[in-house]
């Protein structure tokens, strides 16, 4: 498919060692990084020159997971977003001035989705959030990008709006959430939404008290059907947010019932159908623009 970047098929191939591939690609393209091994996971953080940062402005941390579910190409979940961020990082290296971006390719998102501080630390972002706390990194704006390769509607996840926390957390979350909405509005004024979205790396950071906001993408027809389902059934939002799509904790009948009511984009994730044929060129164009707008975003510290 002509719109896909070079070696994307290799990254999605079943025998690809994605940690090695990613580190090799970054090195070959002149991008410096450090690995952060935590709880059996290997996170990869890009390192930009000091001139790219100004302490007067808030640091923007972008999390994008590079692991995938077993026995799936993981083209949309989450190879497309990873590759788009990789290409964007090359542009950032040539970009003059300050961008205040902290980019981390995370590992372990496809394990359990923690919703509390007592959750299993094997979920990659939870361990990473704990690591941030130990280092005193407490005031970043945290954005998560997941499943960005299919569709034409940007979606800001509402996950976190009802998370437990003090007034300070609620205030911070509202601010980051509104900035995410502004970014999507700026990028695609007529084609963006706020919707409940199954947890991604935002789960681990929310569990540790970080106001993290996730952004994803859906085809317009799927988003419209999903909105109507949410309007018809007031309990459906909780059903989506409290159960991981494809979870083995559900019985088969319940899982099928839930799956039939959610967007097809989410139904094919964690299956062999999450392949290159289901990606769309407009998604890559929108995401590239969104990332450039994120780099331009300036927020006083």
Question: What digits encode the pLDDT tens for the residues 206-256?
Answer: 989 999 999 999 999 999 999 999 999 988 998 888 765 444 444 555 555
Q: Is 211 helix (H, G, I), strand (E, B) or coil?
A: coil
Higher-confidence position of 111 and 43: 43
Q: What average pLDDT does the chain have? A: 90
Question: pLDDT for 133-165, tens place per residue?
Answer: 999 998 899 999 999 999 999 999 999 988 777
In this prediction, residue 164 carries a pLDDT of 74
Q: Give pLDDT, residue 252.
A: 52
For 15, how many CA atoms within 13 A lie in the half-sphere containing its CB?
0
Q: pLDDT value at position 15?
A: 95
Which pLDDT score is estimated for 258? 64
Interval 262-285: pLDDT, tens: 999 999 999 999 999 999 999 999
115-120 LR contacts (CB < 8 Å, sep 24+): 115/199, 115/203, 115/206, 115/207, 116/207, 117/207, 117/208, 119/204, 119/207
The pTM of this model reads 0.93
What is the structure's pLDDT at 261?
82
Neighbours of 151 (CB within 10 A): 25
Which tokens in the block code for residue 123? 């979920």
The CB-side HSE value for 64 (13 A sphere, CA atoms) comes to 28
Predicted confidence at residue 202, as pLDDT, reads 94
Q: What residues are paired with 155 via a beta bridge?
A: 193, 216
Lay out the sheet containing 212-218: strands in order across: 32-38, 41-47, 101-106, 60-65, 141-145, 212-218, 153-157, 192-195
Cβ contact 147:217 at 8 Å: yes
Within 10 A of 110 (CB to CB), how many other CB atoms are there? Answer: 22
pLDDT band at 28 (very low <50, low <70, confident <90, very high): very high
Instruction: Calculate ∠ Cα 144-179-209, nearest 5°.
Output: 55
Residue located via tokens 């025998």: 15
* pLDDT value, residue 166: 83
Q: Quick one: pLDDT band at residue 193, thresholds 50, 70, 90? A: very high
79-136 pLDDT tens trace: 999 999 999 999 999 998 999 999 999 999 987 544 444 444 556 789 999 999 999 9
């Amino acid at each position: 498919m002509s719109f896909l970047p070079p070696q994307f098929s290799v990254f999605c191939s079943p025998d690809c060692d994605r940690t090695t591939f990613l580190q090799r690609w970054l090195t070959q393209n002149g991008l410096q990084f450090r690995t952060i091994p935590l709880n059996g996971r290997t996170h990869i953080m890009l390192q930009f020159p000091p001139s790219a940062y100004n302490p007067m402005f808030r640091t923007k941390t972008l999390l994008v997971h590079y692991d995938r579910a077993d026995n799936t190409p993981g083209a949309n979940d989450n190879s497309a977003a990873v590759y788009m961020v990789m290409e964007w990082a090359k542009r950032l290296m040539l970009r003059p001035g300050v961008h205040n971006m902290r980019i981390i390719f995370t590992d372990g998102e496809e394990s359990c989705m923690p919703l509390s501080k007592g959750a299993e630390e094997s979920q990659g972002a939870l361990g990473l959030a704990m690591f941030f706390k130990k280092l005193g990194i407490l005031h970043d704006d945290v954005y998560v990008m997941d499943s960005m390769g299919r569709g034409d509607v940007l979606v800001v996840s509402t996950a976190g709006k009802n998370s437990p926390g003090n007034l300070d957390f609620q205030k911070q979350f509202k601010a980051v959430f509104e900035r995410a909405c502004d970014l999507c509005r700026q990028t695609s004024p007529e084609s963006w939404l706020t919707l409940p979205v199954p947890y991604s790396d935002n789960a681990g950071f929310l569990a540790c008290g970080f106001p993290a906001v996730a952004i994803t993408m859906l085809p317009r027809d799927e988003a419209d059907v999903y909105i109507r389902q949410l309007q018809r059934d007031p309990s459906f939002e909780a059903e989506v947010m409290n159960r991981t799509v494809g979870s083995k904790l559900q019985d088969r009948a319940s899982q099928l019932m839930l799956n039939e009511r959610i967007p097809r984009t989410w139904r094919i994730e964690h299956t062999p159908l999450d392949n290159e044929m289901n990606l769309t060129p407009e998604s890559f164009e929108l995401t590239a623009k969104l990332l450039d707008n994120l780099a331009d975003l300036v927020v006083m510290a």
